[in-house]
A and B are shown apart, each in its own frame.
Chain A
Amino acid sequence: GAGVSQSPRYKVAKRGQDVALRCDPISGHVSLFWYQQALGQGPEFLTYFQNEAQLDKSGLPSDRFFAERPEGSVSTLKIQRTQQEDSAVYLCASYWREDNNEQFFGPGTRLTVL
């Protein structure tokens, strides 16, 4: 596609519910990233994929967070048993060439946990 798309754009969950956030990267982009942006803060790295391989998940805040990219294109970030502190905007980004180092961002999914 023309850009990175994410769905849903907004998600409200009750505490304890599971949620799944979807990211469609730019077609052909090998690398995909997830970031978490808390209110009033800059985005923070969560995890990184190269094709279907998850090469770095050091930023995932707990084992309730899980990300996958089974076919090397679309990715899903899943949060189990959501907590209020999970409320944030979740951003997806992709790029196609490791030395280019320019990441293209989607509009984000705003998650609110009540």
Chain B
Amino acid sequence: AQSVTQLDSHVSVSEGTPVLLRCNYSSSYSPSLFWYVQHPNKGLQLLLKYTSAATLVKGINGFEAEFKKSETSFHLTKPSAHMSDAAEYFCVVSVFNDYKLSFGAGTTVTVRA
């Protein structure tokens, strides 16, 4: 079985400062890892995904994440937060050929002007 733990339920940053959202995973096999973002009243949108290629994954809107097997982590970062980044972020894991996605509890990001 696989699972993810998002270490922060809320993150508040000032506009223009870096954002760090932390995620640890647990998986018996080589995982696929994803970050999704959910804006109010909008569907979940894929930010980026790791599927055993490069460990540093670049996604949309300036986000990137690094897969660290030794630390079982997949933290999401962005160098400079924008007001439009305010949303709910989910770290997600699945095992290859397992269609079930396991979501973390989510991290709410607020961006201060």
Contact = CB atoms under 8 A, between A and B. Distances in A.
Nearest to A102: B46
A43 B46 CA distance: 14
Interface residues of A, number: 25
A101 B51 contact: yes
Of B32, B36, B100, most buried by chain A (CB within 10 Å of CB) is B100
A interface, by DSSP: helix, strand, loop or mixed?
loop
A82 to B, nearest CB: 22
Interface in B80-94: 90, 92, 94
Contacts of B42: 107
Interface residues of B, number: 24
Contacts of A104: 43, 46
Contacts of B29: none
A23 to B, nearest CB: 11
Interface of B: 32, 34, 36, 41-46, 49, 51, 90, 92, 94, 96-97, 99-106
Interface of A: 3-4, 31, 33, 35, 40-45, 48, 56, 91, 93, 98-99, 101-108
